Amino acid sequence: VLGMHGSFRVLLQVLWAQLLCGWVLGSELTFELPDNAKQCFYEDITIGTKCTLEFQVVTGGHYDVDCRLEDPDGNTLYKEMKKQYDSFTFTASKNGTYKFCFSNEFSTFTHKTVYFDFQVGDDPPLFPNENRVTALTQMESACVSIHEALKSVIDYQTHFRLREAQGRSRAEDLNTRVAFWSIGEAIILLVVSISQVVLLRSFFSDKKTTTTRVVS
């Protein structure tokens, strides 16, 4: 009974750690960025915390966007122009609110869909209340392995979701272009056909008129 209770407690700790990973470690968001627009986000960070900003343009135009990251004093830590995707890691040098902005001001008519993941700090320990002197048990080691595997699965799922969304956007854009091209070809074909019929009728009309004048 004690063994089962200990295993159940370990599993609860694993589930709790997975829940903590969803909201403690920064922000993850996909948002719409209109043309000629700029969107900024803010994060309170303590000194010495390691952070990573990763972003990717999912849909829109040439799949590029401007990105800028500033510290609490307004100093630029990262700045890139017209990037499709990128990742930047830094360690906070001071306490305060850090700001990172995405700009589509260079685009006049195309809006973008942007995904970003801003990770703050390291993962919380899987067994935070344990003051251990000995090595992990077999059950605890298995839980740690499962925990790491689940994080990898989440990263892969996010990556493939972004690729799928980008591929779907390009396919829909291509389908729209093909549809407009087909409509244009149909209109041109109709105009050419009508022009040929009118031209042929004009030939026969001129011949009939000439013949009538000769007889009279």
Q: How far apart are CA 72 and CA 111, in angstroms?
A: 29
Least Cα distance to 68 among 85, 56, 81 occurs for: 81
Per-residue pLDDT averaged across 87-91, rounded? Answer: 92
Predicted local confidence at residue 4, as pLDDT: 42
Lowest mean pLDDT among 25-29, 90-94, 196-200: 25-29
Q: How confident is the model at residue 5 (pLDDT cuts 50, 70, 90)?
A: very low
Predicted local confidence at residue 2, as pLDDT: 37
Is the pLDDT score of 216 beyond 50?
A: no
Set out the domains of the chain in order of their start, with CATH numbers.
25-122 (2.60.120.680)
Which residues have CB under 8 Å from 43's CB, separation 6+?
26, 27, 51, 97, 98, 100, 118, 120
pLDDT digits (tens, 9 = 90+) for 33-68: 998 999 999 999 999 999 999 999 988 888 899 999
Least Cα distance to 86 among 64, 54, 122, 47 occurs for: 54
pLDDT digits (tens, 9 = 90+) for 199-215: 888 887 765 555 555 55
Is the pLDDT score of 18 beyond 70?
A: no
Predicted local confidence at residue 11, as pLDDT: 46
Q: How far apart are CA 7 and CA 1, in angstroms?
A: 10
pLDDT digits (tens, 9 = 90+) for 174-199: 898 899 999 999 999 999 999 988 88
Q: Tokens in use for 197?
A: 């019929």
Mean pLDDT, the chain, as a whole number? 79
Predicted local confidence at residue 156, as pLDDT: 81
H or E element at residue 178: helix 138-215
Q: How far apart are CA 177 and CA 137, in angstroms?
A: 60
Give how far Cα 130 sits from Cα of 9, 136, 175, Å: 12, 10, 57
